[in-house]
């Protein structure tokens, strides 16, 4: 597992009691974090701060570390033949990253699995694409203070908002680049459907919201779809919905189960 923040820690807590799978190695950001995480996970798990220090070739890697980890860890792992699952999917919107990942995966004959993360309905959009999609819209609404540390903080007085306020309107590529910790789902939806440049995104800071609310609207040859998830945030990081961690657990279990769902 790469990254041991809110998502990593939640995944680890569930998987550590699982009879079928084991998280055996964790890559953290730096040496200081290494000691801290080692103390949390115990001596049966190897914790390193660089992939070159991993004592064993991993069988399957889960990235839950943030956009920078794709270059530092995921590209070399794929190129060396290790299958990787990603949650920092917004990173694919920048610097030709989508092409770089595909090239590394081809080189290593490995696969990249993009997690559905905090949203559902990716299966429907991805299937509907083959009939033809006309329009896909994504709206992400989070509590006002969840936008602290993003460009919205410079544009709005987030702590003083008295009503739901649109902080961004544009396409999924711009959203993912401007809001790397809040628009991964916009990028996921876009990659599944109409693409990063043609998926319309609205982001809202809502002082009354206590959850992360994701709405998908799509129409095409398949018909229409409207879906909303009212996601509970992880206590360790309110920007992140708990479902993101559960989507990783699903991916891990699907690696070992005879029936994949
Ligand atoms: N696809 C989706 O639906 C979602 C995706 N995300 C993505 O997941 C990422 C992680 O989310 P959280 O766990 O909530 O964040 P977090 O901030 O709680 O944890 C991230 C951890 O990764 C570590 N890290 C950063 N760079 C690293 C590197 N190169 N190698 C190893 N560790 C590294 C950080 O030190 C931190 O401990 C977010 O940055 C975001 O990009 C988050 C929410 C939803
Ligand atoms: O966890 C969520 O609600 C979604 C999120 O942050 C993202 O799309 O990056």
Mean local confidence (pLDDT), 137-149 = 97
Q: Which domain holds residue 149?
A: 122-232
Do residues 201 and 148 both lie within one domain? yes
Backbone φ/ψ region at 223: left (φ over 0), alpha (ψ -120 to 50), beta: left
Q: Are residues 152 and 95 in the same domain?
A: no
| Beta-carbon-side half-sphere exposure of residue 176 (alpha carbons within 13 Å) | 29
Q: What is the pLDDT of residue 214?
A: 98
Q: Please indicate if the annotation marks 184 as binding a ligand.
A: yes
Within 6 Å (CB) of ligand 1, which residues are found?
2-8, 27-29, 33, 64-69, 72-73, 87-89, 115, 117-118, 180-181, 184-185, 188, 236-237, 240, 244
238 domain residue, yes or no: no
CB 226 within 8 A of CB 217: yes
Q: What is the pLDDT of residue 135?
A: 98
**Ligand 1 center from residue 162 Cα (angstroms):** 30
What is this structure's pTM?
0.97
Angle between helices 242-256 and 6-15 (to 10 degrees): 40
Which-ligand-closest: CA of 29?
A: 1
For residue range 22-72, list pLDDT tens digits in order.
Answer: 999 999 999 999 999 999 999 999 999 999 999 999 999 999 999 999 999
Place of tokens 């190695």: 25
pLDDT at site 138:
98
Residue 67 lies in a domain: yes
CA angle 163, 237, 171 (to 5 degrees): 60
Nearest residue CA, atom 6 of ligand 2?
Answer: 182
- Nearest atom in ligand 1 to 89's CA: 1
Strands 200-206 and 133-143: parallel
Regarding whether 217 and 130 lie in a shared domain, the answer is yes
Is there a contact between 216 and 227 (Cβ–Cβ < 8 Å)? Answer: yes
- What residues act catalytically? 214
Is 174 within a domain? yes
Q: What percent of the chain clears pLDDT 70, i.e. is strictly above it?
A: 100
Residues, the chain, total? 261
Give how far Cα 14 sits from Cα of 5, 10, 23, 45, Å.
14, 7, 10, 15
- Domain of 167, CATH number, reads 3.30.360.10
Ligand 2 environment, Cβ below 6 A: 118, 181-185, 212, 231, 239-241, 244
Residue 237 counted as domain residue:
no
Summarize the confidence of residues 129-143 as an average pLDDT. 98
Contact yes or no for 52/68 (Cβ under 8 A) = no
On the CB side of 96, CA atoms within 13 Å amount to 4
Residues 91, 163 within the same domain: no
For residue 95, is pLDDT > 90?
no
């Amino acid at each position: 597992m790469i990254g041991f923040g809110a998502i990593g820690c939640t995944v680890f807590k569930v998987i550590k009691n699982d009879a079928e799978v084991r998280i055996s190695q964790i890559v953290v950001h730096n040496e200081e974090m290494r000691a801290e995480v080692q103390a949390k996970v115990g001596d049966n798990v190897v914790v390193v701060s660089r992939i070159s220090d991993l004592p064993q070739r991993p069988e399957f890697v889960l990235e839950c570390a943030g956009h920078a980890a794709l270059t530092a860890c995921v590209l070399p792992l794929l190129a060396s033949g290790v299958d990787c699952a990603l949650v920092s999917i917004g990173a694919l919107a920048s610097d030709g990253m989508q092409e770089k990942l595909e090239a590394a995966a081809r080189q290593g004959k490995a696969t990249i699995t993009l997690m559905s993360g905090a949203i559902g309905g990716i299966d429907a959009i991805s299937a509907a694409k083959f009939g033809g999609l006309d329009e896909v819209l994504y709206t992400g609404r989070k509590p006002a203070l969840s936008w602290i540390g993003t460009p919205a903080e410079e544009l709005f007085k987030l702590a003083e908002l008295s009503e739901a306020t649109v902080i961004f309107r544009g396409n999924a590529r711009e959203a993912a680049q401007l809001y790397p910790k809040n628009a991964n789902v916009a990028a996921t939806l876009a990659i599944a459907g109409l693409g990063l440049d043609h998926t319309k995104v609205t982001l809202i800071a809502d002082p009354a919201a206590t959850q992360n609310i994701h709405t998908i609207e799509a129409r095409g040859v398949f018909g229409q779809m409207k879906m909303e998830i009212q996601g509970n945030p992880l206590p360790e990081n309110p920007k992140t919905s708990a479902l993101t961690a559960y989507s990783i657990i699903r991916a891990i279990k699907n690696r070992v189960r005879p029936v994949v769902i």
